[in-house]
Amino acid sequence: MRMALKLVLPLIISVVVVSLLFAAYQVRTERRILRGDLSRRAEILGQGLQEGIEPLLDKIPDKNGPAEKNPDRALQRLVDRFEGRERLRGVAVYSATGATLAITPGISSIFEKWPDIVKNAAEKDQEQGQFVRETAIDKSGNDEILPLHIQAVPLHRDGELAGALALFDDTSYIDVQLEHTLRDSLVNAFVQTLLIACLAVILVRWTFMRPLRRTAHWLRTLRTGTLNGAKTPPGLPEGEIFDQLHQEVTHLARDLNTARATAEEEARLRETGASIWTGERLRVSLQSKLNGTPLFVVSNREPYMHVRDQSGGSTQVIVPASGLVTALEPVLLACNGTWVANGTGNADREVVDENDRLRVPPDLPSYTLRRVWLTDEEERGFYEGFSNEGLWPLCHIAHTRPLFRPEDWIQYQRINRRFADVVLQEMEGTESPILLAQDYHFALLPRMVKDARPDARVAIFWHIPWPNQEMFGICPWQKELVDGLLGADLIGFHIQTHCNNFLETVDHSVEALTEWDRFSVNRNGHVTRVRPYPISVAFPDSASANGDTRGAVVERAAICSELGIEASLLGIGVDRVDYTKGILERFRAIERLLDLYPAYQRRFSLIQIGAPSRTDIARYRDFLEEVTAEAERINAKFHSGRWRPIVLLRWHHSHEEIARYYRAASVCVVTSLHDGMNLVAKEFVASREDESGVLVLSTFAGAAHELTDALLVNPYDVQQLSEAIHQALEMPEGEQVKRMQWMRNAVREHNIYRWAANLLSDLTEIRIETTERGEVRQAQ
């Protein structure tokens, strides 16, 4: 209450001051009106009396003529008639010399001598009026102040001044009336102020104090950490005025949570002697390693797409389903920088500035996204054609024939040049910049950048497998691709096998010295290191996990009711719908499982999240149809009531949505026919805080090298795969926990921050020097 009063005090003072000024103005106006009325009335009466008195003056003897009998008695009678009329206190008639000729008795004692105003009017021969205050003696002999108005009218005889008439009006009624007006105004002001103050206090308490108090309580709960597992406490008030404040407070809370979790994590690590990389540690480490030099990243896929729905309604921000985006976002968040990428959202152009840049993430801008625009034709040749119909199947042994069209190759070279130019433009003014190029879309870019900026440290990370040299030799432009890659100072792959395959390809395709013992290639004096960096996810600590920590059982029930299915056991598969992911093999294994173990019919369902991907490519469109048809076939074979063996969700899901499915599932099935790493496997493990659930993982995914406690399978062997799923569903809780704990430790330790730290620390250790001849080159 006192706080609310304090807040409204300035308002109350303002209201009081305004009310007082208004009251004063009202009194002044009223006085002017009343006095004006009185003056006018006195003038009219004065003129009337003047006409009546002047003839009587003829009868008063002048110094030359005889006096008529009792002329001043007639005058006296006349003035007597006006005594006490309305507000007239009295009337007096004076001679030209100021002698009293007639006067009403009530004022005779005060105005026996003509007052100055009357004398003045006579001398100037001009009618005059004046408000005065005279002192008189009242009946009890005390002094009395009389407020009066005197109207003085000159009198004439035969056209000559013969005296003056004075009318004395009592103006005390004006004072009384003004007092009333003043009193009324003050009462009004007081009531108004009181009402406004009360309303203001109520409003402030209702609109500000209560929500502020709730916000304060919310913050206190957050600070003291009594959250009972939730990410943020409930009960943050809503409302337009508070929305912005709440957004900031929520960010603050998130930062606080993260800082607390980091501190706890670090304390725990000190305690156990382990060394875990966190976002904060990466930021600090990069700050000292990069020494303020910003980080540049280039990839085809952008981390945020702005998409407007077909009806032209509101714009939505989408995080694309891409392992690359999942991995790189935490790195950029940890160390500000610029990410150059292909703007593919249909509303992307609407949100960039004149330099095609914008700050992201939208809710907490931390780094710059620079968008590059491609025409449909360029997109077809560079992305769909050469990258995804050529290199993608070339590098994945998944039995889809690579297509290498010369016109696609031309676009691939052009677009690599375009991106290299944009990267160089962004690097302008930055000394010794650091570039992390991403993936098979940009094999030529490292050489292009390095040729123009020998002082730059350039790394490229190849997110997909590198096949053996015979396989890669299929590509008509293998020499150019290898040469482009060797422009980098460092090339990263997920696993050692891919590094070995690359070095063998180098040996067979270009003139270079391959140093197998140091895992590097020397081409024309420039050394390229080739190293494995197993990519990962940002392992969420419990405090900053996705908030909702409902148990698997509750989550499963909620999901089943949302999807309108009935099942007591859930499996989960999450993939872009891509022929490398073994989705058909997975479905057939479910069919086999239900055939072999009918007890799982009407009990177990596989939820397959399948984000449609690269649908402009015929092979992908056909594959989406094949996957849908296979799910329908199997469902038709087994379905019963509200139970279905396969629930295919063919649309994009956010990370948060997917996390719910991970938590609800008894088993996660990753069946890639060939995969660089596969982050779904690591995401599943990272999201299982309850240390339960089983991972079935293809041996052909890079992740199988680290997650050896998964049930490892050959996805081509449908029988083996179905047995593995069965084993997962039957696995005792104790074994599940043991396996999950080991896998969680592996992912926690080898998280995305360690990946970035290792890659960037190897890159920053490469020394670049300027020779005596002014040449910039690597120090040997």
Q: Which residues bind ligand G6P (CB under 6 A)?
A: 300-301, 322-324, 439, 463-464, 613-614, 676
**Minimum CB–partner distance for residue 676 and ligand G6P (Å):** 5
Using an 8 Å Cβ cutoff, are 673 and 582 in contact?
yes
- The enclosing H or E element of 243 equals helix 240-272
**Minimum CB–partner distance for residue 327 and ligand G6P (Å):** 9
Residue 566 has which token pair?
A: 């009935």
**Minimum CB–partner distance for residue 699 and ligand G6P (Å):** 18
H runs (alpha helix) in 665-730:
679-687, 718-730
Using an 8 Å Cβ cutoff, are 459 and 531 in contact?
no
List all residues 6 or more positions away from 515 whose beta carbon is below 8 Å from its beta carbon. 521, 522
**Minimum CB–partner distance for residue 389 and ligand G6P (Å):** 12
With CA atoms as reference, report the closest residue to 527 among 512, 517, 537, 541: 512
H runs (alpha helix) in 546-674:
552-563, 583-596, 618-638, 655-664
**Minimum CB–partner distance for residue 336 and ligand G6P (Å):** 23
Q: Is the Cα dihedral 684, 686, 692, 694 positive or negative? A: positive
Residues 478, 616: Cα–Cα separation, whole Å: 26
Residue 432 to residues 291, 350, 453: CA-CA distances in angstroms? 11, 33, 8
Residues 517, 720: Cα–Cα separation, whole Å: 39
Number of helices (H) and strands (E), helices first, in the chain? 24, 25
List all residues 6 or more positions away from 606 whose beta carbon is below 8 Å from its beta carbon. 570, 571, 572, 573, 586, 587, 590, 645, 646, 647, 669
With CA atoms as reference, report the closest residue to 587 among 519, 638, 663: 638
Residue 694 has which token pair?
A: 């089983």
**Minimum CB–partner distance for residue 322 and ligand G6P (Å):** 4
Using an 8 Å Cβ cutoff, are 135 and 144 in contact?
yes
Q: Which is nearer to ligand G6P, 199 or 318 (CB)?
A: 318
With CA atoms as reference, report the closest residue to 385 among 440, 437, 332, 434: 440
Per-position b or e across 139-174, b if 16+ CB within 10 A of its CB: eeeeeeebebbbbbbbbebeeeebbbbbbbbbbeeb
Using Cβ positions, the residue closest to ligand G6P within the complex turns out to be 463
